[in-house]
Homo-oligomer: A and B are copies of this chain.
């Protein structure tokens, strides 16, 4: 690849035109495929461009084209395992086209977020992808901006904005559906921090599905606690000691589920024979190495990021949209909910 050598004198369109023996204007048209150019001359230009490994200067281009071929990704907290897949999906979607991604992280600081926003704006990005840290709705930044903004993971509080967030409610429903299909009917829901909408939505969906079967969650819908294995263990222990019968533990996250699995083993309860266990997020490192491997709900965050990015591209193109789009999710069955087909 000689194209790499762009030292002092990067080859310009003028060079190409000269080598091709045409005018600058013609060279431009030939390369951009716009306007009518004789096939023969176009080929001459293209050959010359290839020979010189010409790459158009994006700055010169951006100077009078209103669009810059760059979008900004404003993350609230990069140090978060949920934003990574989103980022990946977005990068993927953009990478396919010609737009590239300018990254800026706010470190969970709203002052800093504003700073980063202004920097992105100063760089003249064509659009903005705002990636939240949780699925809790977040303040809109769209007001006064002249470029399109799409919110991912954390939806905007303003319904006029366009947001993409995973369907936690349906995740709860599907999880219960899965457990029911395995013949479980006495299901408890060990949940995380109730200040997270994800926690509330998941249990709401689960409870709804149970109700449709004339059932209700063992222990109720209020088993909230800190996300993390510790609470998974403690809560499981309480359930066992309470003497209440249950044949499945649905846990608000894979971490909680790992704690539950641990505690069940200590209580000499067999998984999945005595109790089925499942989690949410399908965090491979935890789920696949669990004993037994853990059934979990895949939130499809990468797909979410990709969709958001594609929609942003469309919005930049002029097709705007609004509202909250719910990303689909699916159960990934593993051994922890095996057997018992009823």
Query: How many angstroms from the CA of A122 to the CA of B105 in the assembled complex?
Result: 24
Check A118 for interface membership: any CB of B closer than 8 A. yes
Selected from B58, B81, B116, B289, the residue in CB contact (under 8 A) with A228 is B289
Are A59 and B100 in contact, CB atoms less than 8 angstroms apart?
no
CA distance A124 to B12 in the complex (A): 13
CB–CB B58/A230 < 8 A: no
Is A88 on the interface with B (CB-CB < 8 A)?
yes
Q: A55-B121, A124-B57 are in contact. Are A78 and B91 (CB under 8 A)?
A: yes
A interface residue count range (under 10 / 10 to 19 / 20 to 34 / 35 or more): 35 or more
Whether the pair B144, A119 counts as a contact (CB closer than 8 A) is: no
Note all chain B residues with C-beta closer than 8 A to A104: 91, 95, 100-101
**What residues of B have a CB within 8 angstroms of the CB of A85 in the complex?**
79
Q: Assess whether A268 is interfacial by the CB under 8 Å rule.
A: no
Q: B63 near A60 (CB under 8 angstroms)?
A: yes
Closest-CB distance, A161 to chain B (whole angstroms): 15
User: Does A100 contact B123, Cβ atoms closer than 8 Å?
Assistant: yes
- For the complex formed, measure the closest distance between the CB of A204 and the CB atoms of chain B, giving whole angstroms: 26
Instruction: Knowing A104-B91, A146-B6, A255-B289 are in contact, say whether A79-B68 is a contact too (CB < 8 A).
Output: no
A-B contact sample (19 more), CB < 8 A, given A63-B63, A92-B105, A262-B291? A1-B114, A3-B121, A4-B118, A5-B145, A5-B146, A58-B124, A59-B63, A59-B68, A78-B88, A79-B85, A79-B88, A91-B103, A100-B103, A100-B120, A102-B102, A228-B289, A229-B289, A255-B285, A255-B289
